[in-house]
Structure 1
């Protein structure tokens, strides 16, 4: 069986997979984030931290080319987000964003795989191999017959990320690692996400809980804006 593409380590290169310069997002309700600049290395695990309302979810969407109204410069996997937003979206994958983007609770994992394959136009022949490879890296052992909504909160993170790699992507984002999870579970999740990053997939995840973060983890710290 062919090794899933997302399991192949990326070549050693000094070029960051993501380079953002002076990103800014303002909506009709006010400023969401302002003058954010960051370089994220290929194959890195990065945490976006901040309290509720700091704009973490919006930033995930912005960094994957899925948020309108963003100004500044963003290059992802060599693609300019302004000139080629579709290429940025193709190079990235969203596991979940708050409660807006998330697998359907009433579907089994097997049905979630089918749904995600159709939604992402993923290669049908490789979908199961890709899912199982990532699930194994993350430590997800739930049978495919398990309903997504019956998984523990920690395993929902694992499942959402595994589903996001059915279509191979160079960068995967996942929101709210700390949602209804204990500090120990969060620490285990960060370790698991690190294993996926070690296999060549850059991972950006958000949390409001700092205590469980590894000390050497790359971080983007966000503060709530006052112009909302």
Structure 2
């Protein structure tokens, strides 16, 4: 029996991302074991979202080293993307307000079945595939604490009618359907009341306790919580370069490839039927996560990336906008 923890250990030493307008973040150092809850705290514009994207293999680093589940960054970005998932990231992995909760779940089930399952799973009888898809979706909803019966119109509730905490739970549930070892959540406590913030952290604690490593961007981490690994971002002055030293390389987000099919979450064919019918290919996928078919964890041609146009935001510029703008240039936002 495999006793390897499901969650991915995360380490960073002198880690940083820089664009032509300056550093998005730098000098990040921390170590977190499998199943840890990592809180990334910092003011808007301090590179929190860029750090989240870099640690999940979606943005190329410019300084230092980092590893996720033993996979080095940026060398194994494709492999890292295959074991990580994004939730609640504006411009990258966000809910469509025009969709209902059920449409989002069916779409994700279809994507995971098409791109995240094994060939053996595709050969199973139709009834077994439908049951497996339902079980996967139900488990993700339960882990995220989203009870469909409490929503105004149940599974037919439109995303625009969800409360902020409910939308956060749905986004997390969709990411969990892919079974990630590292779940990265942006804007965890944005515009939440004190009670809602406490409920959100309780949910993330539960996910970490169940074995999934959680990386959560926040404005304020839970107070006095010794179980949280705290990482702070903030603007720092750039040190002077030694005379004659070569310039610092520019880091940019990855260009899309064939394995990034789920980044667009564009499989609307699954909107009309039930979860099991839409997922006859198997299980469910994650909108900000690249498809495992292009990343087998052992490295691939995608691991050696050319530098595309676009770059993360500099100090003083809103990091969420900078990350979204950079990704928009590659067609992934």
Q: Where does residue 136 of structure 2 map in the other structure? A: 130
- Indicate whether 1:174 and 2:176 are aligned: no
Q: 1:148 to 1:225 in 2, by over 3 A?
A: farther
> Comparing both structures, which one devotes a greater share of its residues to helix?
2
User: For structure 2, which runs of at least 5 residues remain unmatched after alignment?
Assistant: 123-128, 149-153, 239-314, 316-333
Q: Give the count of matched residue pairs.
A: 218
Contact 1:187 1:213 in 2 (8 A): no
Contact 2:183 2:215 in 1 (8 A): yes
SS at match of 1:144: helix
Q: Where does residue 111 of structure 1 map in the other structure? A: 103
Structure 2: distance between partners of 1:10 and 1:108: 39
Structure 1: distance between partners of 2:233 and 2:170: 27
Contact 1:57 1:98 in 2 (8 A): no
Shift of 1:109: 1.8
Shift of 1:35: 1.6
Of 76-85 and 35-44, more deviation after overlay is shown by: 76-85
Q: State the TM-score, normalized to the length of structure 2.
A: 0.60
Contact 2:8 2:213 in 1 (8 A): no
Shift of 1:116: 2.8
Contact 1:128 1:166 in 2 (8 A): no
Equivalent residues in 2 for 1:49-198, closer than 5 Å: 49-119=41-111, 121-123=115-117, 125=129, 126-142=132-148, 143-198=154-209
> Comparing both structures, which one devotes a greater share of its residues to strand?
1
User: For structure 1, which runs of at least 5 residues remain unmatched after alignment?
Assistant: 1-8
Q: 1:127 to 1:81 in 2, by over 3 A?
A: farther
- Indicate whether 1:36 and 2:36 are aligned: no
CA RMSD in angstroms, aligned pairs only: 2.4
Q: 1:214 to 1:147 in 2, by over 3 A?
A: farther
Render the CA deviation track for 1:97-133: whole Å, top value 9, x for unaligned.
1344202111112211233345552348444423321
Structure of larger gyration radius: 2
Q: 1:162 to 1:168 in 2, by over 3 A?
A: same
Structure 1: distance between partners of 2:53 and 2:11: 15
Q: State the TM-score, normalized to the length of structure 1.
A: 0.85
Contact 1:190 1:213 in 2 (8 A): no
Q: 1:214 to 1:26 in 2, by over 3 A?
A: same
